Structure 1
Amino acid sequence: MKALHIAATGMKAQELNVEVISNNVANMRTTGYKRQRADFQDLLYQNLRRMGAETSDAGTIVPTGVQVGSGVKTAATARIMSQGSLEETNKELDVAIRGEGFFQIELPDGTTAYTRDGSFERDANGTLVTVDGYSVLPGITIPSDSRDITISADGNVQVVDGTGATVNLGQLELARFVNKSGLEAIGDNLYLETDASGQPQTDTPGNDGFGDLQQNFLEMANVDAVTEIADLIAAQRAYEMNSRIIQAADEMYSTTSNLR
């Protein structure tokens, strides 16, 4: 009897499903977070009677056959890269992306990472950085005597200097990928390029399908509480049903062993 093993794979799959849902719920207020979804596939089948096999010398064939599955496996934890809602913060260095694209971040080892989290700050040198102190590319330095920082929809950064003149400090660029779901999440709201994502394409915000920027706003997580609760209930029910199958299989084993 393979029911024990099959039901065990079902319980294991739903355990991972609950872990994915739990991580989504935990990050409901994480800036720029993109929810994940667990995808599953059925395992190999044992053909007890193959469909299409001949059953007589006259050439009659089996129309359906007999196949017994081996259970379920986790195929992927796909990341849903849909747009999150924009929340106004009234902080001049908060920037949200409205549409396609990622901010480019330089890590301490020189690697370029990507993020949708636009909660930027200035370090001691005036450089535009993330909350972890990583430089935002291309490097933009804001003088200490600057005021009225403006980041336009196309990424142009301007300030008013000590003399009252408007100074252009540089241009923020965005990167996008053919398969953005193929990016590798490394924590801290950062992603890395992979072979699956393809190489980044960079351009000015608002150009050629790239999203534009919204100053004084942040993009919230695209996690919907109602959807996560519904998925959690479905996962719990599936887990319970698989556990009942294990109980039923155990009782059947007991009945068989007690036969005299």
Structure 2
Amino acid sequence: MFRALYTAATGMTAQQLNLDNIANNLSNASTAGFRARRLQFQDLMYQNMVVPGSAATQQTTVASGLQVGLGTRPTASETLQTQGEFESTGNPLDIAIQGQGFFQVLLPDGTTGYTRSGQFHLDAQGNVVTSDGNQLQPSLTIPADAQTISIGADGTVTVTQPGQTQAQQVGSIQVASFANPGGLNSIGKNLFLATTASGDPTIGTPGGAEGAGTLQQGVLEQANVSVVDEFIQMILAQRSYEANSKVVTAANEMLQNLNTMAR
């Protein structure tokens, strides 16, 4: 009975963290480029009362044994890399990646961050930056007198200027791909950092041989959060939490009965 109390407590703790993860997914359902997370669980160690395969007699062995589990624990929060829905905005600096890959931005400490959010802006010098002022990498500067900005599917950026009949190329956008994007470290602000689990980034042209996706101008990728699925997972987490709490209640009542008998 004491084992049941502690085992059920691990289930309640795990489902509480699961609900926290669901709440984070739902709260970011309107965050451009957000990647939903899914919690993964693992059973804890087992108490071997009879070890499977141990000798029953000199000629026979125990077929299945007798093992009692001690509960569960969360082991990982997997980042889902499915494509989010596209929303047409008409803003020339809104860019979406159709397929795999991440935009590269220069962080204040000099490191490179990676993001799926294509909400870009111009700073006072005409540099393309994120909403936090982090520059897109490789750096891209738009002339102050540019009348139109065109971004091709392969990342080529051209502008038209007064007095010119042809568009002029001012740079290109490259995309970073990872062998294991689920191993990236989320640091908030729609940013990820590379880790040993994700591997080093492969930098390439959008739509190129590196497997990177193509770019879509005037479009934003929304969060890949399915509100319906998250509500279903929330109900399941709540029911699992309730079931574990009932185990605690049942074990407590059995202990109470023992105490009554002792009197």
Q: TM-score if structure 1 supplies the norm length?
A: 0.98
Asked if residue 155 in structure 1 is aligned to residue 164 in structure 2, the reply is no
Give CA-to-partner distance per residue, 1:75-95, whole Å, 9 cap, x none. Answer: 101110111111100101100
Deviation at 1:161, TM superposition (A): 1.3
Match of 1:258 in 2: 260
Asked if residue 104 in structure 1 is aligned to residue 115 in structure 2, the reply is no
Give CA-to-partner distance per residue, 1:184-238, whole Å, 9 cap, x none. Answer: 0101100000010000000010101210000000000000011101100000000
Deviation at 1:162, TM superposition (A): 2.2
Match of 1:136 in 2: 136
Deviation at 1:109, TM superposition (A): 1.3
Match of 1:7 in 2: 8
Match of 2:251 in 1: 249
SS class of match (2:53) = coil
Give CA-to-partner distance per residue, 1:101-139, whole Å, 9 cap, x none. Answer: 100000111100000001100000000001111000111
SS class of match (1:134) = coil
Query: Using the alignment, how far apart are the partners of 1:244 and 1:218 within structure 2?
Result: 46
SS class of match (2:35) = coil
SS class of match (2:261) = coil
Match of 2:242 in 1: 240
The counterpart of 2:228, out of the listed 223, 226, 229, is 226
SS class of match (1:259) = helix
Once the two structures are superposed, the pairs formed by residues 174-189 of structure 1 within 5 Å of their partners are 174-189=175-190
Query: Using the alignment, how far apart are the partners of 1:34 and 1:53 within structure 2?
Result: 48
Match of 1:204 in 2: 205
- Structure 1 stretches lacking a partner, 5+ long: none
Deviation at 1:63, TM superposition (A): 1.1
Query: Using the alignment, how far apart are the partners of 2:239 and 2:167 within structure 1?
Result: 61
What percent of counterpart residues are identical? 47
SS class of match (1:119) = coil
Which amino acid in the other structure matches residue 216 of structure 2?
Q
- Structure 2 stretches lacking a partner, 5+ long: none
Which amino acid in the other structure matches residue 217 of structure 1?
V
Query: Using the alignment, how far apart are the partners of 1:18 and 1:238 within structure 2?
Result: 11
Query: Using the alignment, how far apart are the partners of 1:197 and 1:56 within structure 2?
Result: 51
Match of 2:55 in 1: 54
Once the two structures are superposed, the pairs formed by residues 34-45 of structure 1 within 5 Å of their partners are 34-45=35-46
SS class of match (1:157) = strand
Query: Using the alignment, how far apart are the partners of 2:63 and 2:78 within structure 1?
Result: 37
SS class of match (2:245) = helix
Match of 1:173 in 2: 174
Query: Using the alignment, how far apart are the partners of 1:174 and 1:25 within structure 2?
Result: 28
Q: Following TM superposition, where does structure 1 have runs of at least 4 consecutive aligned residues deviating by more than 2 angstroms?
A: none
Query: Using the alignment, how far apart are the partners of 1:34 and 1:122 within structure 2?
Result: 25
Give CA-to-partner distance per residue, 1:7-41, whole Å, 9 cap, x none. Answer: 00000000000000000000001000010001000
**Number of matched pairs:** 259
Deviation at 1:6, TM superposition (A): 0.2
